[in-house]
């Protein structure tokens, strides 16, 4: 049943990488606040449909759309399908990400290109396409980029990911400046160590156990996907109407040290 006091009532959203992890947590949090949502995914169709069904049970509109965000045609199709299904688009969350581990001297061109395509190229051109939609409708809007503390805090064996996420963080600032005259706000959330499939890969010799990696975190625990949902809801609502170009760091205090 729709809550008339919900903070995202009548808002239509696209969330990429929303079949699991942080994207799923944000999608469910948006739905709890009344948002209709496009669940963009690449590989996990069953998981994406599960999220869609959870949102529909709340009496809201939701649809799963497969999109390879390294492909411009897929980005165009995602926006077109979102417009057809939802009408106006009010919020975009660029969450889909990819992290491949390798020592700096062993990163291949393929690994580097893949990191840039998914973590930077996709968000750049999807932001561009959704922003043009918002400009055409004269509706304003909110665009949220999910970056990482790895965009400014170096670690071992993730150099391609770090470079791509640093670019994504600058995308926020560049787009915020360019789109402010159209009342389109662009902000970043930078997660720290969070328990997702990306941080707990199977058979990866360069992945350290979370039990070791938690030690530098002042709050003493690994983050959970839901820990990032509140920041995303805030940035999607009118409560953040004078916030643009900002980076909300959600990392349990790790970057303080």
Token couple for 228: 């990032």
Q: Which of 30, 124, 125, 161 is an active site residue?
A: 161
What are the C-alpha distances in Å from 15 to residues 95, 105, 216, 243?
7, 34, 30, 20
Q: How far apart are CA 186 and CA 80, in angstroms?
A: 21
Look at the alpha carbons of 72, 73, 74, 78 in this order and tell me if their dihedral is positive or negative: positive
Q: How far apart are CA 23 and CA 63, in angstroms?
A: 14
Instruction: Give the DSSP letter string of 174-207.
Output: HHHHHHGGGTEEEEEEEE-SB-STTTS-TT-TTP
Q: In angstroms, how far apart are the furthest CA atoms of the chain?
A: 55
Residue 249 bridge partners (DSSP): 190
Helix (H) or strand (E) holding 250: strand 247-250
41 is catalytic: no
Catalogue the active-site residues.
161
């Amino acid at each position: 049943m729709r809550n008339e006091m919900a903070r995202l009532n009548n808002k239509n959203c696209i969330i990429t990488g929303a079949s699991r992890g942080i994207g799923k947590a944000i999608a469910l949090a948006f739905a709890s606040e009344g948002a209709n949502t496009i669940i963009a995914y690449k590989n996990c169709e069953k998981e994406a449909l599960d999220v869609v069904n959870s949102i529909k049970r709340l009496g809201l509109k939701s649809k799963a759309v497969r999109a390879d965000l390294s492909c411009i045609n897929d980005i165009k199709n995602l926006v077109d399908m979102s417009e057809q299904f939802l009408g106006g688009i009010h919020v975009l969350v660029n969450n889909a990400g990819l992290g491949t581990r390798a020592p700096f001297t062993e990163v291949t061109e393929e690994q580097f290109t893949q990191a840039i395509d998914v973590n930077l190229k996709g968000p750049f051109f999807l932001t561009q396409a959704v922003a043009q939609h918002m400009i055409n409708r004269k509706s304003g809007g909110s665009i949220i980029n999910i970056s990482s503390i790895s965009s400014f805090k170096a670690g071992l064996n993730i150099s391609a990911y770090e470079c791509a996420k640093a670019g994504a963080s600058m995308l926020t600032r560049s787009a915020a400046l360019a789109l402010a005259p159209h009342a389109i706000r662009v902000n970043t959330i930078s997660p720290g160590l969070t328990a997702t499939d990306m941080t707990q890969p199977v058979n990866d010799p360069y992945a350290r156990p979370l039990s070791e990696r938690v030690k530098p975190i002042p709050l003493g625990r690994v983050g959970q996907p839901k820990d990032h949902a509140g920041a995303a809801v805030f940035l999607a609502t009118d409560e953040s109407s004078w916030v643009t170009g900002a980076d909300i760091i959600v990392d349990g205090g790790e970057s303080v040290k």
